Amino acid sequence: MSLKTEMSTVLTQPVAERLRPVSLDHFYGQHHLLAKGKPLYEAIQSGSLHSMILWGPPGTGKTTIARMIARQSDAQFIPISAVLAGVKEIREAVAKAQQVRKDGVKTIVFVDEVHRFNKAQQDAFLPFVEDGTFYFIGATTENPSFEVNNALLSRARVYVLKSLSDSDLLALIDHAMTSEFTDIDFSPEIRQQFVTFVDGDARRLLNLIELAVQLVVESGTDAATITQSIAVSVLEGSVRRYDKGGEEFYNQISALHKSIRGSSPDASLYWMCRMLDGGCDPHYIARRLIRIASEDIGNADPRALTLTLDAAQVQERLGSPEGELALAQAVTYLAAAPKSNAVYRAFQCAQQDAKQTDSSQVPVHLRNAPTRLMKQLGYGKHYRYAHDEPDAYAAGEHYFPEDMPQKRYYQPVNRGLEIKISEKLNRLALLDENASKPTKPNA
């Protein structure tokens, strides 16, 4: 039998499905959950059922774990896709569970992508979970704290799954090649390229290997080898996994922000490149950097905001990938700049006071008087023009509403340019203090 005939016979079902483990002995990854003695391991081995949420990235084994639990506990397994299903499918699942319950058979209702269900659909499960009609297992790639109703969440234990490690993925490749593709040569170097590319996603790894094997078969060559050119064709033709708008997206932007705040230019560059490599819009990164320039640096180095705005404009004009170098320049500058959140804190405090004192009127001496009536009403009277005062500062003058005490929102830090700003503000405060002291009469 030729290699092509043999492979076409084998490839009748996706390899990821053919290799789906039915027991823990052939499960790769999730050692923190499935090692002996761990609660989930013991629950699976003993067939002890409880409702749960399996939260983790794609290709980490959520569906497989649910199926293993059902198999081990001899339970009826009813899968529902929240992408395709609705209330009708939920009712059908309830009816099936109620029917077999009469015979003492337990049921697991497995909802894939449970975060896609709305509140009403999630609530539909509650009474049947509570009365034991079935056990609920939900799988999600999104943070269940935000995407799953509290009522349902409180009735299910959450297990957090992790992306598979390189060693787990390499072991999975060994298993796939020895059990499915024994006649295909797959060098360690090229295997590592596949492992790096899939970013911990076992299902994606197997799908890409299957595609590579198909290309080997179609090439018609005697050497049944996944070559470098085939690897390039497979990997470059695929899109890196990127959780745009999801949990991992916000985790990565948080890591970038905190690395800059922590003054680590190297880590900051790494996280920016991770996001770009995953397909993040560079303009989004640019907007976030502009925010960081004000929030975490502020007046400690006002040039940070200007440079970041310039970098955003460069990205706008040049596009990718040329414009991204300007973003890298901004990232390293922001990370290395002196840090101050004094403006950010002052702004928040002033916002709070503004909401609480929004009815306070502008003092008369600060009002403009463009008309005769306004002048007659005293608008602008006794206003002290700062440029006519010594050092261009009207010592002792008040600018807050008359019924509001004087506030000091802005507290410069002892870093960068704010050292100088702090010195000036302290000197002006001393002038205000001296101006408020009563003058002694002449002897």
DSSP assignment string, 278-329 = HT--HHHHHHHHHHHIIIIIGGG-THHHHHHHHHHHHHHHH-TTTTHHHHHH
Q: Examine the pLDDT at 245 and tell me if it is beyond 60.
A: no
Helix (H, G, I), strand (E, B) or coil at 7: helix
Instruction: Give the tens place of pLDDT for each residue, 117-174.
Output: 888 888 888 999 998 899 999 999 888 888 888 888 888 999 999 989 999 999 999 9
What letters, b where the CB count within 10 A reaches 16 and e where it falls short, cover 7-29? Answer: beeebeeebbeebbeeebeebbb
The pLDDT, as a whole number, for residue 85 is 81
The pLDDT, as a whole number, for residue 443 is 46
pLDDT above 90: percentage of residues in the chain: 46
**Whether the Cβ atoms of residue 365 and residue 402 lie closer than 8 Å to each other:** no
Q: What is the mean pLDDT of residues 64-70?
A: 92
Omega before 321 cis (within 30°)?
A: yes
Instruction: Give the tens place of pLDDT for each residue, 201-241.
Output: 999 999 999 999 988 888 766 668 898 989 988 887 665 55
Q: Examine the pLDDT at 244 and tell me if it is beyond 70.
A: no
**Whether the Cβ atoms of residue 148 and residue 181 lie closer than 8 Å to each other:** no
Q: In the chain, how many H helices and how many E strands?
A: 22, 5
On average, the pLDDT of the chain sits at 87
The pLDDT, as a whole number, for residue 123 is 86
The pLDDT, as a whole number, for residue 6 is 47
Q: What is the mean pLDDT of residues 328-356?
A: 93
Q: Examine the pLDDT at 2 and tell me if it is beyond 50.
A: no
DSSP 340: -
Most confident of 212-226, 358-372, 428-442: 358-372
Q: What is the mean pLDDT of residues 270-291?
A: 90
The pLDDT, as a whole number, for residue 208 is 92
At residue 378, φ and ψ (nearest 5 deg) are 90, 10
Q: In whole angstroms, what separates CA 402 from the centre of its chain? A: 46
Indicate the range of 21-25, 93-97, 227-231, 377-381 predicted with least confidence: 21-25
DSSP assignment of 344-374 equals HHHHHHHHHHHHHTTTPPPPGGGS---SHHH
DSSP assignment of 56-99 equals --TTSSHHHHHHHHHHHTT-EEEEEETTT--HHHHHHHHHHHHH
The pLDDT, as a whole number, for residue 243 is 57
Instruction: Give the tens place of pLDDT for each residue, 175-211.
Output: 999 988 888 899 999 999 999 888 889 999 999 999 9
**Whether the Cβ atoms of residue 153 and residue 123 lie closer than 8 Å to each other:** no
The pLDDT, as a whole number, for residue 10 is 47
Q: How far apart are CA 393 and CA 82, in angstroms?
A: 66
Most confident of 43-47, 323-327, 393-397: 323-327
Q: Examine the pLDDT at 9 and tell me if it is beyond 70.
A: no
The pLDDT, as a whole number, for residue 242 is 57
Q: How far apart are CA 76 and CA 98, in angstroms?
A: 11
Q: Examine the pLDDT at 436 and tell me if it is beyond 80.
A: no
